[in-house]
Amino acid sequence: MRVFKFGGASVKDAAGIKNVQHVLQTVGYEDVLLVVSAMGKTTNALELVIKHYFDKSAELNAAVQEVKKYHNQILLDLFEDENNAVFTAVNEQFADLEYFLAHNKSPNYNFVYDQVVSYGELISTTILSHYMNFMGMATQWLDVRNFVKTDANYRDAEVDWELTQANISKNVKRKTLNITQGFLGSDPNNFTTTLGREGSDYTAAIFAYCLNAESVTIWKDVPGVMNADPRYFENASLLNQISYREAIELAFYGATVIHPKTLQPLQKKEIPLYVKSFINPLLQGTSVSKGVDLEPYLPCFIVKRNQLLISLSSIDFSFIMEENISEIFALFHQFKIKVNLIQNSAISFSVCVEDKFDNFNALNAILSKKFKVDFEENVTLYTIRHFNDSAAQTVEANKTVLLKQVSRETMQVVTKEV
């Protein structure tokens, strides 16, 4: 069996749904399992619904109606007959969403988040499955929550691999076109959980691992894994083949083409991963598998914007020792601040971090009691794997370099635009 993953950009409208069908007709769809994300920016739209829900805003109903309107237009573009069963199926899912919003008693934001955003994937796969059937491609729609079992750590659930393996190996039919949802699972009480943002790639890897799949293909709007983001670098090149190890390194430093959790289960069973274009499905794309690191051996550029550079120094000029660093990292963990680069000397300690949840002010209030705290906002972190002099000059040109760290394979530079 082959596992295919299609993200939100590939199913953002009726044309996207039709193109998924074209891709499947082009590359074959017998004995295939599709993992599909929510359509377009639906997850963002449902996050707005959640915000209005907790704010007890009068805008709640309007926000839900916007999501319904978006999906209904796609339905109207795909199906000529409004009596088609898909309209009823989608309306029932929206009715379930509205029932939850009206009757939920839990004040737990993360719990509510998972119950609400899950409708994006449930609805997208319902529409896709009905369209494939309508076009003569018989499908088996699977509710992923019956297969991927997790703990109750809402928004970042851990997979129960033993239960998940049993569910998938026993209940997924072979020799058919299966369609299921990415990103979702369910806890021991059968409440919906999510695997972390962008977790649909991970879902594909979970199914592939449990099914001993032939391969996983992630279909994207790019030709494959590039050595740089074309939005930031001219002449970005396609990487034809990279090893699991190299892909994990790139993901660790922030490359967004492959989700970090995706690679470990595939590597364990040496299941190859392909990143290919849903625009040109016959192009070779990128192969991630056991073997050589890079062909050709190119510098790879990763850019993380909107970073925060924090420099801590001891108020009494004493050394910053292990106990200080341990305390600092415990605070980073407490305030959910992700550390991307570390550099320390005897009396100072610098970190480049992401403050996704806007917790730095609260953290700073605590740090300032023990340390002198300097910080620079809106900096950019460049990471270059397999760097050379030319690559270094590319990222440093016309910028102020605030911090640089170089190892044998990797160079990281924190910069501010001049």
Please write the tens of the pLDDT for every residue from 340-363. Answer: 999 988 778 899 999 988 999 999
Contact (CB, 8 A) for 239 and 286: yes
pLDDT digits (tens, 9 = 90+) for 221-259: 989 998 998 888 888 889 999 988 888 888 888 777 687
Contact (CB, 8 A) for 228 and 15: no
Q: Residues for the chain: how many in total?
A: 418
Contact (CB, 8 A) for 30 and 2: no
The angle that helices 322-334 and 360-367 make with each other, rounded to 10 degrees, is 150
Of 190, 184, 216, 158, the C-alpha closest to 34 is 216
pLDDT digits (tens, 9 = 90+) for 155-198: 999 999 999 999 999 999 999 999 999 999 999 999 999 998 66
End-to-end CA distance of the chain: 52
Per-residue model confidence (pLDDT) at position 292: 62
Burial of 321 (0-12, 13-18, 19+ CB in 10 A): exposed
Is the pLDDT assigned to residue 120 strictly greater than 90? yes
Q: Tell me, rounded to whole angstroms, the distance of Cα 96 from its chain centroid.
A: 26
CB atoms within 10 A of CB 27: 15
Is the pLDDT assigned to residue 305 strictly greater than 90? yes
Is the pLDDT assigned to residue 260 strictly greater than 80? no
pLDDT level of residue 293 (50, 70, 90 thresholds):
low
Q: Which residue has the higher pLDDT, 235 or 53?
A: 53
- Mean pLDDT (whole number) for 204-211: 98
Per-residue model confidence (pLDDT) at position 80: 85
Distance CA 260, CA 113 (A): 22
Is the pLDDT assigned to residue 384 strictly greater than 80? yes
Angle at 62 between CA 56 and CA 64, to 5 degrees: 85
Per-residue model confidence (pLDDT) at position 294: 53
CB atoms within 10 A of CB 302: 23
Contact (CB, 8 A) for 226 and 238: yes
Cis before 223? omega within 30: no
- Mean pLDDT (whole number) for 290-316: 83
Per-residue model confidence (pLDDT) at position 115: 98
Predicted structure pTM score: 0.88
The per-residue pLDDT of the chain, averaged, comes to 93
- Mean pLDDT (whole number) for 150-157: 96
**Which residue is it, tokens 């090149």?**
237
Per-residue model confidence (pLDDT) at position 296: 53
Q: For a pLDDT cut of 90, what percent of the chain falls above it?
A: 79
Contact (CB, 8 A) for 254 and 267: no
Per-residue model confidence (pLDDT) at position 248: 84
* Domains of the chain with bracketed CATH: 2-220 (3.40.1160.10), 300-417 (3.30.2130.10)
